[in-house]
Structure 1
Amino acid sequence: MSACILVTGAQGQVGHALMGQAPEHLQVTGLASTELDIRDPLAVEQCIARLQPRLIINAAAYTAVDKAESDAAQAYAVNAEGVANLARSAARHGAGVLHISTDYVFAGDSPQPYREDAPTAPINVYGASKLAGEQLLRELCPQSLILRTSWVFGSHGNNFVKTMLRLARERDELSVVDDQLGCPTSANSIAAALWSLSASYLAQGSLPWGIYHFSGQPACSWHAFALEIFRQAQACGLLQKAPQVHPIATQQYPTPARRPQCSVLDRNRSQKLLKLDAPNWHIELTNCLKQIQQQTDHGT
């Protein structure tokens, strides 16, 4: 029997992309958060003892950045304690772990792209909970690889691309923040990177464990991202007409959670050691809009 790979959070944005790309020759078990609640240590232990996976890809996460400010206990329960539960059971049963983290572990006050060893200093609860999860995973399961990514978008789940398309149909004018910089990254490209790492692990029995950065390129502002979304959506017929998009400063758009001003990730280490090339998010966006169009055509 081929090696089992367990994907947690299989109905989330990245989890859905992972299951859509799951290699046919592998025995992949995808469990949604309703099927495996990683907050429950007993459920996690029983699941891993039963499946005996060689590798666990953890795509389960609490990602509601603003809600986390008033719901810190739940954010930590999933992003920290839940990760610790997976890490303990993985170590007990000899499984490797691939885990997704975020650019929000950084303060966002550096003009230089963040390297993996840059000091972390999250400025919101979500980022702090994800950092706690990283630390617990590394401490409890040395056979773990953390892939930090940023500004995730896709055809499934809630994200900036889908929000912009919805607002474009409702309004003629929009204001979008222009002084926060980051790297849009598609769920599909993250899934492809994780499957590439899985193949290496299954072939070699190990990986260069640790923390790595993986994101789309080039860096841009939310405003520039929105403009490109509307340009492409109009070109492919998803939008009849693009709204006027006004650039605004962060302080003109207050949110419960503070966002990093500049959270561009340095990807050199993952390119050298993991052979993961940074995808061009313009191309990834084109593919994402095609998927959204297909869903619209099929009424899903």
Structure 2
Amino acid sequence: MKLLIFGKTGQVARELQRLVPDATCLGRDEADLTNPAACAAAITATRADAVINAAAWTAVDKAEAEEAAATVVNGAAPTAMARAAAARGLPFLHISTDYVFDGAGDQPFAPDHPTAPQNAYGRSKLAGEEGVCAAGGNHLILRTSWVVSAHGTNFVKTMLRLGKERESLNVVADQIGGPTPAAAIADALVAAAKAMAQGAQGGTHHFSGQPDTSWAGFARAIMAEANLPCRITDIPTTDYPTPARRPLNSRLDCSAFTTAFGIPRPDWRQGLTAIVKELTQ
């Protein structure tokens, strides 16, 4: 199976390239998501069997001040891609986020739960979801959360850096979710793409790591994995204000994805061990 992947430097894109080295991966210089028509043209010209969009605007706080630009990248571009893929009869796989929900309550969000994004980033990602669905082709929208890897900027790398510099850190403890290794997302996307290329139907699904934890709990696990003595003190979200409102509840019900594709939720603790090992080698 030949894959066309949008993205080169992002966390999931890097893992996809490692997993499928012969895939065609398009970076910003080859397919700029600020130019949706160019992205569609790349799909029209491709000889691939399936398309994965692993590129996105991920600067959550910056999106508050630049929502229109974020919506082009996260909304208009994947919509154009999905239409081009549908016209070619190609499966189209797209990564989304728990930020499309309101973050209320303490129960995991099912894929069919009503959406109600609370920030500009979430609204831009929801626009992409709606466009992909409306395109009419066989598509997979895979919502995930708290993505981490040995690449780019993410919570694990930030905690490791600060944990070496400081004796203690204050970390938010009232936001709960599932940290998700980018490598596990890449594995899931490739497996789903193969199934869809053989006729399986996609849809909107959830995929996040288990067990659910808080940012503070995750931070403690990171320090323990790296043998850092840095102490973690729990604080509420109100003590750590950010331009974009973060959801308190990022739990995702991933059971439908497991049923449809046979892919279970990954254990983020195993992923964390692999990430720390890669960063220290």
Same-fold status (TM-score > 0.5): yes
Letter in 1 for 2:245: R
Instruction: Give the fraction of aligned pairs with identical amino acids, expressed as a percent.
Output: 45
Letter in 2 for 1:233: A
CA-CA distance at 1:53 after TM superposition: 2.3
Cα distance in 2 between the residues matched to 1:83 and 1:217: 28
Residue equivalent to 2:200: 207
Work out the number of aligned pairs and report it: 281
Residue equivalent to 2:232: 245
Q: Choose from 160, 163, 168 the match for 1:168.
A: 163
Letter in 1 for 2:4: L
Contact 2:149–2:181 (Cα < 8 Å) also in 1: yes
Q: Which runs of 5+ in 1 are unaligned?
A: 235-240, 295-300
Residue equivalent to 1:216: 209
Show the 5 A alignment for 1:11-90. Answer: 11-22=9-20, 27-90=22-85
Q: Which runs of 5+ in 2 are unaligned?
A: none
Residue equivalent to 1:8: 6
Cα distance in 2 between the residues matched to 1:10 and 1:201: 23
Residue equivalent to 2:225: 232
Cα distance in 2 between the residues matched to 1:245 and 1:88: 47
Letter in 2 for 1:249: P
Cα distance in 2 between the residues matched to 1:45 and 1:271: 30
Show the 5 A alignment for 1:102-141. Answer: 102-141=97-136
| Pairing 1:274–2:261 present | yes
Contact 1:213–1:266 (Cα < 8 Å) also in 2: yes
Cα distance in 2 between the residues matched to 1:67 and 1:42: 24
Q: Choose from 174, 182, 189 the match for 1:194.
A: 189
| Pairing 1:93–2:88 present | yes
| Pairing 1:181–2:179 present | no
Contact 2:91–2:193 (Cα < 8 Å) also in 1: no
CA-CA distance at 1:57 after TM superposition: 0.3
Cα distance in 1 between the residues matched to 2:33 and 2:40: 10
CA-CA distance at 1:200 after TM superposition: 1.6
Q: TM-score, normalised by structure 2?
A: 0.96
Residue equivalent to 2:274: 287
Letter in 1 for 2:120: V
Q: Helix, strand or coil: the match of 2:5?
A: strand
Cα distance in 2 between the residues matched to 1:155 and 1:53: 28
CA-CA distance at 1:45 after TM superposition: 3.3
Give per-residue Cα distances to partners, 1:121-161, cap 9 Å, x unaligned.
11111111111100100001431111111100000111000
CA-CA distance at 1:184 after TM superposition: 0.3
Cα distance in 2 between the residues matched to 1:14 and 1:33: 15
Cα distance in 2 between the residues matched to 1:93 and 1:40: 20
